[in-house]
Amino acid sequence: MGWFLQDYFLNGVQFYNLFDQAAKNAVEIAELLVQAVNIEEAADRETYFKQIERLESVGDDITHKIYLALDKVIFTPLNRSDIHTLASAIDDVADYIHEASERMFLYNIDEVIPAIKEIADIILKASREIEKSINMLRVSSKGRLILESCRVIKGHERESDQIYYSSLALLFANEQDAITLIKYREILHSLETTTNKCKSATDVLQTILVNSFKFSE
């Protein structure tokens, strides 16, 4: 029985550590995004976009390690499908931040409109809440605190939706250049999708609370 508990504990530490790394990496990517969109000169943003690309690749590696660990270990601290889905959800947040930054770089926009900055700030706030929730996962008594973070993230996602649709309405009403309008619309769509992915991560976390901790409101 001792070997079973030891194996279970070590595997738990391994998965939780990898989740912590993935969530921290997503926050760092979100921080870079906020820094990039608040730079006035378009040419000066490239350094931040390249750093985002590098960290997105780091996130892919962490996700791959989680998938490999699932194939190798017998005992997991959480439901196997939940581990897979949570790893994918965190990776999606990083991927869509990267997509938004790539579009800003490729489209070479001169002016970062307020909505882009506002949604980037929301993404950073939501990413930090995800990281906080992930860090608490290894402690079953933290269920209600995780649930509260999930509520906060969902509030951020609703705020992002409002900014997204309001900014699109303004663009269609005021932007005279069709190509510029399309560029902003695509960037905003990537950013808004990122906040949706943050919300998706909360759905996974809530499922984990029910499946693994027998938690209910």
C-beta separation of 34 from 120 below 8 A: yes
C-beta separation of 59 from 94 below 8 A: yes
C-beta separation of 82 from 208 below 8 A: yes
Q: 150-168 pLDDT, tens per residue?
A: 999 999 999 999 999 999 9
Query: What's the pLDDT at 157?
Result: 97
Q: How far apart are alpha carbons 197 and 29 in whole angstroms?
A: 14
Dihedral, CA of residue 171, residue 172, residue 174 and residue 177, to nearest 10? 90
Does residue 214 register a pLDDT over 80?
no
Q: Assign 3-state DSSP to the chain and report helix, strand, coil percentages, each to 5.
A: 85, 0, 15
**Which of 25-29, 36-40, 67-71 has the highest average model confidence (pLDDT)?**
25-29
Q: 105-152 pLDDT, tens per residue?
A: 999 988 999 999 999 999 999 999 999 999 999 887 788 999 999 999
pTM of the entire predicted model = 0.91
Q: How far apart are alpha carbons 54 and 162 in whole angstroms?
A: 31
Query: What's the pLDDT at 10?
Result: 46
Q: Map out the domains of the chain as residue ranges.
A: 2-213
Query: What's the pLDDT at 7?
Result: 45
**Which of 6-10, 41-45, 55-59 has the highest average model confidence (pLDDT)?**
55-59
| Architecture, CATH, for domain 2-213 | Up-down Bundle (1.20)
Query: What's the pLDDT at 20?
Result: 97
DSSP 40-75: SSGGGGHHHHHHHHHHHHHHHHHHHHHHHHHHH-S-
C-beta separation of 156 from 129 below 8 A: yes
Query: What's the pLDDT at 9?
Result: 43
Query: What's the pLDDT at 1?
Result: 41
Q: How far apart are alpha carbons 164 and 32 in whole angstroms?
A: 21
Query: What's the pLDDT at 213?
Result: 60
User: Cβ–Cβ contacts within 10 Å for residue 194, how many?
Assistant: 31
